[in-house]
């Protein structure tokens, strides 16, 4: 899990990057969920580059994951991860502007 803190004059926002958040039912009704969408091929390439990559473990996680369409419907915002920092930064700024 990754934790980020954003402070503003009006609000303080805590951002949590939690794998399997919905699967473990640890989200609350007033949470703002952001779905980061990327192609399956690109996501798999990124995972394979990790030093602790374990294919059998990946298959087990895939079996317990909820469908991506379900997660997408539950999200308040969607960011399309096309691997360009500028577009992702722009999406994040737009989301923060709307939240704050």
| Residue tagged 């369409």 (tokens) | 69
Burial status of residue 39 (CB atoms within 10 A of its CB: 0-12, 13-18, 19 or more): exposed
Domain layout of the chain by residue ranges = 20-99
- pLDDT, residue 15, reads 86
Mean predicted confidence (pLDDT) in 18-30:
89
pLDDT digits (tens, 9 = 90+) for 28-85: 988 999 999 988 898 889 889 989 999 999 999 889 999 999 999 999 999 988 767 8
Task: Retrieve residue 50's tokens.
Answer: 């990790």
CA 75 and chain centroid, separation: 10
Neighbours of 75 (CB within 10 A): 16
Nearest by Cα to 71 from 41, 16, 27: 27
β-strands 77-80, 34-37: how paired?
parallel
pLDDT band at 88 (very low <50, low <70, confident <90, very high): confident
Read off the pTM.
0.79
């Amino acid at each position: 899990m990754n934790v980020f803190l954003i402070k503003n004059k009006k609000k303080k926002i805590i951002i949590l990057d939690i794998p399997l958040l919905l699967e473990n039912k640890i989200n609350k009704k007033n949470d703002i969920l952001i779905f980061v969408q990327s192609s399956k091929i690109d996501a798999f390439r990124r995972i394979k580059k990790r030093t602790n990559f374990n294919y059998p473990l990946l298959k087990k996680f895939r079996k317990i994951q909820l469908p991506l369409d379900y997660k997408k419907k539950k999200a308040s915002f969607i960011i399309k991860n096309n691997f360009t920092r500028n577009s992702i930064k722009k999406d994040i700024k737009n989301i923060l502007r709307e939240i704050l």
